[in-house]
C-alpha cells in the first residue's frame, strides 16, 4: 500500500476510535461492544507497528507513554488558579447574593450558572494548534499553590475522558480556537475508588481515606500505567485563552462549547435567575448526591456574564462573582457501646466500634471500623465515649474523633485488645513494623468463613447465592471444612440446610459448577494468599501459565514478575510450602477448576543482542535495566568487546564509553533502550 493511503487509513481509524472513546468515556452511551472497540484498537496498533514512523503522540494508542523523568516540573499558571469562598447556610448565601446585586448596580439582571462542586483536584489543560489545525493536548498542570502548578501531562493523558486531540472541524462547531486552556476537576469515580481500595487491602496496604485523596495521590505518581488503571475522570468547567482570559461572554456558553468539543461537562448544570430557584437547585443536589457515582461536596454558583464577572472582581484569594455552597459533612455523633474484634481471612484482627445507630446522610450507621490497636490509642477511645463518625466515599464508616463536652461525657472503660483470637482462642502475633495483630491458627474457623466468602464473592469466583447465611450453616454443620469442600456439596447436603428449597439449591449447585470455568487468575486470587490481589494474580497467571509452574517457582523466579517483590514472593512461597495448602490445591485440581492460562508471549525483540551498561541512567537502576534486557531475550555483559551490540550510557559514564568509541560500538541512551524494548 502506498504510504499516503496507509497514513489516511490510520488517521481514519483514529477518528473512529476517538468517536467511540467519546461515546464511552464522556457520554456513557457506547454504540459498539467492548470487544468491537478492542478490535479497532488492535487494528490500529497493528498498523502502527508496521509503520512506526506514522505514530503520533495524539494517537489513541499513546495514552500511556514514558515516565516523567524525575518528579514533576513546576510551571507558572496563565492566570492564578484561585479557590472559592464558602457559604454553609441559606442566610449566608442570601448575603452573598445581595452583595452581588448591590455591586452590579440597579437594573442589572443577573443570571447565575449553578454547577456541582466536584470533590477532586483542579487541573488546567493546555491545547495547542497542530499543523493540521487540530488542537493537541500539550500540558496538564495541577493547581499547586495557585500561581505555579506541576506538570503532570504524562498522567493526565491516561484519563480517557480527556481528548488528546480535537479536530479542526470539531473546534469550529464548538466555536473554540485551537489554542486554549481548559480548567476543571479530576475526580475518581466511586466504583473505581472501591475497586482500587479492595486491591490495596488485598495487598495488605491501608485503604485510602476518600476518593479525592486517592485521585490526588494518583495524579502525582511517577507511573503512568498505574494512573491509567485507576480510571480517573475529568470534568471541564472553564474555557480560557492561553493568557487566561475568558473565551466566552457567558459561563453557560463556555460549558456548551466544551461539551461540543468533546469534554465531559457535568450535566447537572443550570442557569438560574432567582434566589429561590438557587435554593431549589441546592436542595435537589443534596438529595441526589448519594446516588451519583462520584463525590460532590457542594454546589458552585457563578455569575454567568464575563463582563459582570470582571466588574465584580476578586478579593484576595477568591472571586466575588462565584461562591461555593458547601454541604454539611456526612458525619454524625453517637456513642460507642462496645468494641468487637473481627478476624479476617488472612487472620488479621480488626477492631470495630459497635455504635448506637445514627442516621448519616440517609443511611443508618451502627458500626465503624477502628482499623487497629494503634488507632484506638491515637483516638484515646474509651468504651462509652461519644464519637464523631464520618461516612466518606467508602461504604465503611469510620470514627474520626472522640467528642468531649458538657452534653457528651467521656466513657469509662478502657478497651483491652485481646491476647488471643476472639474466635478460636489461638495466640495472636504482631509482626515487627506492622500495625495489625493476626491469629496464628491457619484453621481458625473465622478465617475459614472469611476465606469462603472471599472465594465466592463477585470479582473472584462469582458464586452467587453463597453469602454469609449459607456459609455460616455450612460451617456449623461441618459440611465444609475447606474451600475445596464446596465442590463436594450435593443436593441432599444443601437441602438439609434451613431456608433452602430445591430451586435455591439447584441454582447454587449450578453456580458452583460454573465457577470451575473461572480463569486461573481468579482461582489464584480466590486462594487468599496474602499480598496477592487481583492484579498480582493476573500477572502471575500470565507469566507462568499454569498453577503447577507457580507452585514450583522459587522466590527468585516469582520476582521476575513485574510488581512482585521479596515480600510478595515470600508470602506466595510460604503459602504453597504449607502441606495443608498443597492439599487444597490438589483437591481443587481434582474438582476440575481451571489450572492453566494463556501465557503472555515471551518477548524476544532483543534476541541475540549483547548490551553493556555504563554510568547512571536517569530512571532505571542497573538491576532494572538488566532485568528488562534479559526479559526481552537480550544479554548483559560487563565489558565492551567487538561482540557488544550496544553500550547503554548514562551520566558519568567511564572508560567503557571510551572503549565503545574506540571499537565503534553504537552507544545509546536509556530512552533509546526503552524504545527498543517496546
Where do contacts with ligand IVH occur on this chain (CB under 6 A)?
82-84, 115, 117-118, 122, 185, 237, 300, 319, 322, 324
Question: Which residue(s) pair with 319 in the sheet?
Answer: 314
Separation between Cα atoms, residue 439 and residue 424, nearest integer Å: 9
- Residue of this chain nearest to ligand IVH (CB atom): 122
Q: Which DSSP letter does residue 166 get?
A: E
Nearer to ligand IVH, 117 or 231 (CB): 117
Pick the closest to residue 512 from 583, 464, 567, 571 (CA basis): 464
Positive or negative, the Cα torsion across 192, 198, 201, 206? positive
User: Can you read off the three cell numbers belonging to residue 620?
Assistant: 532505571
Residue with cell 514450583: 552
- Which among 49, 67, 117, 672 is annotated as catalytic? 117
Q: Rounded to the nearest whole angstrom, what is the least distance from the CB of residue 321 to ligand IVH in the complex?
A: 9
All cell numbers assigned to 633: 531475550
Min dist CB 95 to ligand IVH, Å, is 18
Catalogue the long-range contacts made by 24-29 (C-beta closer than 8 Å, 24 or more residues apart). Answer: 24/160, 25/160, 25/161, 25/233, 25/264, 26/161, 26/262, 26/263, 26/264
Residue 117 C-beta: closest distance to ligand IVH, Å: 4
Around Cβ 426, how many Cβ atoms within 10 Å? 15
493523558: which residue's cell? 157
When the beta carbons of 264 and 348 are compared against ligand IVH, the nearer one is: 264
Contacts of 493 (CB under 8 A, 6+ apart): 479
Q: Determine the Cα–Cα distance for residues 532 and 37; give it in Å rounded to an integer.
A: 30
CA distance 605 to 677: 7
Residue 265 or 484 with smaller CB distance to ligand IVH? 265
Nearest residue (CB) to ligand IVH, 117 versus 264: 117
Q: How far is the CB of 495 from ligand IVH (least distance, A)?
A: 56
Buried b or exposed e, range 70-98, using 16+ CB within 10 angstroms: eebeebebbbebbebeebeeeeebeebbe
Among residues 448, 449, 513, the alpha carbon closest in space to that of 487 is found at 513
Smallest distance, ligand IVH to C-beta of residue 212, A: 10
For Cα atoms 571, 574, 580, give the angle at the middle one, nearest 5 degrees.
130
- 315 exposure class (CB count in 10 Å sphere: 0-12, 13-18, 19+): exposed
Residue 117 annotated as catalytic: yes
Instruction: Tell me the closest approach of the beta carbon of residue 112 to ligand IVH, in angstroms.
Output: 13
- Closest approach of ligand IVH to the CB of residue 262, in Å: 18
Least Å distance between CB 300 and ligand IVH?
4
Q: CA-to-CA distance for 587 and 431, rounded, in angstroms?
A: 31
Active site residues: 117
Amino acid at each position: 500500500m502506498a504510504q499516503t493511503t496507509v497514513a489516511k487509513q490510520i488517521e481514519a481509524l483514529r477518528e473512529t476510535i476517538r468517536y467511540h472513546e467519546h461515546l464511552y468515556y464522556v457520554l456513557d452511551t457506547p454504540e459498539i461492544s467492548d470487544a468491537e472497540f478492542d478490535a479497532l484498537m488492535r487494528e490500529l496498533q497493528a498498523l502502527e507497528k508496521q509503520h512506526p514512523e506514522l505514530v503520533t503522540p495524539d494517537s489513541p494508542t499513546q495514552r500511556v507513554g514514558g515516565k516523567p523523568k524525575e518528579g514533576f516540573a513546576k510551571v507558572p499558571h496563565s492566570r492564578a488558579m484561585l479557590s472559592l469562598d464558602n457559604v454553609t447556610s441559606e442566610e449566608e448565601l442570601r448575603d452573598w447574593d445581595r452583595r452581588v446585586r448591590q455591586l452590579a448596580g440597579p437594573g442589572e439582571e443577573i443570571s447565575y450558572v449553578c454547577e456541582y462542586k466536584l470533590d477532586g483536584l483542579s487541573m488546567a489543560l493546555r491545547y495547542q494548534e497542530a499543523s493540521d489545525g487540530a488542537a493537541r493536548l500539550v500540558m496538564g498542570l495541577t493547581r499547586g499553590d495557585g500561581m505555579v502548578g506541576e506538570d503532570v501531562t504524562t498522567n493526565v493523558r491516561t484519563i480517557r475522558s480527556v481528548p488528546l486531540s480535537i479536530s479542526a472541524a470539531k473546534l469550529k462547531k464548538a466555536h473554540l480556537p485551537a489554542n486554549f486552556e481548559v480548567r476543571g476537576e479530576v475526580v475518581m469515580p466511586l466504583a473505581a475508588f472501591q475497586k482500587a481500595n479492595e486491591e490495596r487491602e488485598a495487598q495488605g496496604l491501608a485503604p485510602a481515606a476518600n476518593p479525592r485523596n486517592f485521585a490526588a495521590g494518583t495524579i502525582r505518581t511517577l507511573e503512568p500505567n498505574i494512573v491509567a488503571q485507576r480510571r480517573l475522570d475529568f470534568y471541564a468547567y472553564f474555557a480560557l485563552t492561553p493568557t487566561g482570559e475568558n473565551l466566552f461572554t457567558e459561563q453557560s456558553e463556555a460549558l456548551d462549547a466544551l461539551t461540543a468539543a468533546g469534554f465531559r461537562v457535568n450535566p447537572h448544570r443550570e442557569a438560574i435567575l432567582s434566589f429561590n430557584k438557587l435554593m431549589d437547585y441546592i436542595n435537589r443536589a443534596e438529595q441526589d448526591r448519594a446516588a451519583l457515582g462520584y463525590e460532590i461536596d457542594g454546589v458552585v454558583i457563578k455569575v454567568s456574564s464575563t463582563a459582570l464577572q470582571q466588574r465584580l472582581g476578586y478579593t484576595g484569594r477568591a472571586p466575588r462573582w462565584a461562591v461555593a455552597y458547601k454541604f454539611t459533612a456526612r458525619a454524625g455523633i453517637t456513642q460507642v457501646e462496645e468494641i468487637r474484634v473481627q478476624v479476617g481471612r488472612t487472620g488479621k484482627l480488626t477492631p470495630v466500634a459497635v455504635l448506637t445507630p445514627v442516621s448519616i446522610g440517609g443511611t443508618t450507621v451502627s458500626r465503624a471500623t477502628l482499623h487497629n490497636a494503634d488507632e484506638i490509642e491515637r483516638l484515646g477511645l474509651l468504651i462509652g465515649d461519644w464519637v464523631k463518625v464520618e461516612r466518606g466515599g467508602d461504604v465503611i464508616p469510620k470514627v474520626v474523633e472522640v467528642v468531649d463536652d458538657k452534653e457528651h461525657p467521656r466513657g469509662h472503660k478502657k478497651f483491652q485488645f485481646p491476647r488471643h483470637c476472639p474466635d478460636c482462642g489461638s495466640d495472636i502475633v504482631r509482626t515487627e513494623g506492622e500495625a495489625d495483630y493476626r491469629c496464628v491458627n491457619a484453621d481458625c474457623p473465622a478465617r475459614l468463613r472469611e476465606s469462603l466468602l472471599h472465594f465466592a464473592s463477585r470479582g473472584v469466583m462469582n458464586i452467587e447465592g453463597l453469602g454469609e447465611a449459607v456459609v455460616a450453616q455450612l460451617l456449623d454443620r461441618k459440611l465444609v471444612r475447606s474451600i475445596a469442600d464446596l465442590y463436594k456439596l450435593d443436593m441432599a447436603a444443601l437441602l438439609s440446610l434451613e431456608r433452602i428449597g430445591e430451586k435455591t439449591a439447584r441454582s447454587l449447585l449450578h453456580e458452583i459448577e460454573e465457577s470451575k470455568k473461572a480463569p486461573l487468575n481468579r482461582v489464584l486470587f480466590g486462594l487468599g494468599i496474602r499480598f496477592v490481589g487481583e492484579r498480582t494474580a493476573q500477572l502471575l497467571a500470565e507469566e507462568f501459565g499454569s498453577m503447577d509452574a507457580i507452585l514450583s517457582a522459587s522466590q527468585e523466579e516469582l520476582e521476575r514478575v513485574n510488581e512482585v517483590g521479596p515480600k510478595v514472593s515470600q508470602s506466595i512461597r510460604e503459602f504453597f510450602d504449607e502441606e495443608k495448602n498443597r492439599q487444597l490445591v490438589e483437591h481443587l485440581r481434582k474438582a476440575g477448576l481451571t489450572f492453566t492460562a494463556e501465557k503472555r508471549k515471551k518477548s524476544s525483540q532483543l534476541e541475540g543482542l549483547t548490551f553493556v551498561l555504563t554510568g547512571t541512567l536517569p530512571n532505571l537502576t542497573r538491576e532494572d535495566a538488566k532485568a528488562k534486557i534479559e526479559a526481552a531475550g537480550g544479554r548483559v555483559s560487563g565489558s565492551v568487546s567487538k561482540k557488544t551490540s550496544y553500550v547503554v550510557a548514562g551520566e558519568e559514564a567511564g572508560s567503557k564509553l571510551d572503549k565503545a568509541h574506540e571499537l565503534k560500538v553504537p552507544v545509546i541512551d536509556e530512552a533509546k533502550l526503552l524504545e527498543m524494548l517496546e
